Structure 1
Amino acid sequence: MSKLNAEQLSQKHDVFQAIADPTRRGLLRLLGDQELPVTVISSHFPMTRTAVSKHLRILSDAGLVKERKVGRETRYRLDADPLRELKSWLAYYERYWENKMEVLKRYVETDDNNRKI
């Protein structure tokens, strides 16, 4: 693994914090396929536009959302690049989940074969 500078380490920490919140995960999902202004984004959430803007700022600081000015309007879109590194980090732990599922499958299949009808 390459050496990381302080900004990259800080950004990684921010990505984990950013996705920890269910509202921010919802924002990422909403922005996954489209660029939207905050007014439209706000209509999808039961909170004020100011609250949505604060969530968008956290996502932007983490590098997960890009903003673009169009006239007086700011539009937001997903930038999935930081999620790729998160995915590779999580991939290490998949072996534990897969192993547990395999053990459960064997247990269930063995248990089914040993049951008397």
Structure 2
Amino acid sequence: MNHLSFVQGGCVVLRIDVPPGTRLIDVIRQETRRGSLSLPWRCAQGTCGACVLKLSRSQGPSPPVVLGRLERNVLIRQGQLPADAPLEQPDTPATPRLACHVAVDSDLIVYF
């Protein structure tokens, strides 16, 4: 199991364990419906940009993340990345991500 901590305004609002490979958006949808989170999401397909958030890995820095073209283009359209942003981005809390494009593969801290 991978451990997720959701942080809003500097406070941990939810801790949950999920199986490896779980899509982050599926966790967010489930916990939002339960009332445990108030995190926006809309399409869950990676095209609207509503589920933008920041992540950090509990075990520290990791190799750069390679965004898919769709995720990169949506983040550019949303003004989250510059127009010339490469697909490879540093895996830091400063890098915006779309929850619908993230498969949970380690313990994560989710900032929203």
TM-score band, normalised by shorter chain:
under 0.3
Instruction: Identify, as 1 or 2, the structure richer in strand.
Output: 2
Which protein is bigger by CA-based radius of gyration? Answer: 1
TM-score, length of structure 1 as denominator length = 0.22
TM-score, length of structure 2 as denominator length = 0.23
Higher RCO by CA contacts (8 Å cutoff, separation 6 or greater): 2
Instruction: Identify, as 1 or 2, the structure richer in helix.
Output: 1
